[in-house]
């Protein structure tokens, strides 16, 4: 039986986990499996696979989660979005997950796909907390995680309201949080402090984004509302078009960020890998060396 993340979090004070997107081709899948093979030496606690809210091939996520779990035996979170689905469709997807022993879900509202104006069927869920409630109504079969935004969600009126919405998600059945990436650890620790003050006691795992391409980072950050901090700009702007230098500085930056987070006792690190083994492997090799020393 697949382990639930909520049980893993009860047993371990700190987890290491990795996010992938579902590949569309056989070549992409082979390459992802090589990445996972390379990450297995770090004894990952869990993986997660994103869900293309807009794409037609939503079943890709379920198939790859199933294959990863059967091949590597590591619990793998299926991201699932409200957007683009009626409640009946969501129920059908949830039943299919049960059939494949997919017991871990990251409940999300979802990114509104480009070019789509009318964002959802009329009988779909309006907020992620409703998906948490739906998933938790299945006799405790699923462990449910939710997204958190240390800088506040891009559409939230302010940080306080954003955190109140997070609490609603957790009170509705969310059991842990994986955050959006951030480059200021101070923002993350401030988020933890404010969450605690609001009575949130569940684990908030920081999302780590190793920088390999500065222009791509600027675009992704713009879309999701994450701040590219002054210290990131200072390092990466002058070397924007120098791939190798950017890559090396990306490793240095992530390593420093992770070391500081671990030194302050974070409950885990969740790496956004973009399906690539490097630079995550190099960062972890160096990080584990310091942890062991």
List residues with catalytic annotation: 19
178 binds ligand FAD (CB under 6 A): yes
| Nearer to ligand FAD (CB atom), residue 40 or residue 127 | 127
* Residue of 46, 51, 188, 247 interacting with ligand FAD (CB under 6 A): 51
Cβ proximity of 172 and 204 under 8 Å: no
User: Which x/- pattern, by CB under 6 A, does the window 53-82 give for ligand FAD?
Assistant: x-------------------------x-x-
- Smallest distance from the beta carbon of 111 to ligand FAD, in angstroms? 4
CA distance 8 to 105: 14
Binding to ligand FAD, residues 202-261 (CB under 6 A): 207
Paired with 176 in beta bridges are 145, 203
What tokens were used for 78? 């299926």
Give the length of the chain.
293
> Rounded to whole angstroms, how far apart are CA atoms 61 and 80?
9
Instruction: Give the residue nearest to ligand FAD (CB).
Output: 109
The closest of 52, 75, 53, 68 to 1, measured between CA atoms, is 75
Candidates 50, 69, 212, 280: give the one binding ligand FAD (CB under 6 A).
50
* Angle ∠(122,125,127) on CA atoms, nearest 5: 130
Residue 116 CB neighbours (<10 A): 12
Considering only the stretches 70-78, 86-94, 125-133, 260-268, report the one whose residues sit in contact with ligand FAD under the rule CB under 6 A: 125-133
What DSSP string runs through 44-70?
A: -SEEEE---SSSS-THHHHHHHHHHHH
Site for ligand FAD in 130-169 (CB under 6 A): 147, 153, 155-156, 162, 165, 168-169
Q: Which stretch binds ligand FAD (CB under 6 A): 24-32, 48-56, 96-104, 260-268?
A: 48-56
Strand, helix or coil for residue 100: coil
Binding mask 104-123 for ligand FAD (x = CB under 6 A): ----xxxx------------
Over its C-alpha atoms, the chain yields an Rg (Å, rounded) of 18
Q: Given the rule CB under 6 A, which residues bind ligand FAD?
A: 50-51, 53, 79, 81, 108-111, 127-129, 147, 153, 155-156, 162, 165, 168-169, 178-180, 207
């Amino acid at each position: 039986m697949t382990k639930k993340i909520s049980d893993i979090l009860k047993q371990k004070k700190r987890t290491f986990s990795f996010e992938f997107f579902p590949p569309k081709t056989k070549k992409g899948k082979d390459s992802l499996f090589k990445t996972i093979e390379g990450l297995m030496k770090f004894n990952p606690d869990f993986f997660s696979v994103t869900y293309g809210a807009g794409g037609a091939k939503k079943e890709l996520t379920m198939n790859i989660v199933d294959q990863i779990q059967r091949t590597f035996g590591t619990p793998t979170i299926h991201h699932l979005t409200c957007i683009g689905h009626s409640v009946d469709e969501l129920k059908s997807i949830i039943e299919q997950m049960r059939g494949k022993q997919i017991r871990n879900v990251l409940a999300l509202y979802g990114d509104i796909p480009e070019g789509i104006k009318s964002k959802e069927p009329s009988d779909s869920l309006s907020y992620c907390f409703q998906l948490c409630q739906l998933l938790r109504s299945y006799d405790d079969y699923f462990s449910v995680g939710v997204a958190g935004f240390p800088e506040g969600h891009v559409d939230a009126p302010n940080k306080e309201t954003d955190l109140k919405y997070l609490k609603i998600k957790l009170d509705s059945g969310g059991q842990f949080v994986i955050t959006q990436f951030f480059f200021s650890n101070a923002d993350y620790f401030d988020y933890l402090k404010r969450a605690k003050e609001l009575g949130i006691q569940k684990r908030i795992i920081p999302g780590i984004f190793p920088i390999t391409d500065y222009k791509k980072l600027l675009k992704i950050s713009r879309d999701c509302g994450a701040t590219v901090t002054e210290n990131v700009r200072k390092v990466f702007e002058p070397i924007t078009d120098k791939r190798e230098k950017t890559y090396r500085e990306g490793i240095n930056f992530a390593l420093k960020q992770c070391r500081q987070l671990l030194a302050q006792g974070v409950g885990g690190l969740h790496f956004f890998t973009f399906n690539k083994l490097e630079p995550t492997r190099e960062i972890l090799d160096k990080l584990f060396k310091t942890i062991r020393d």
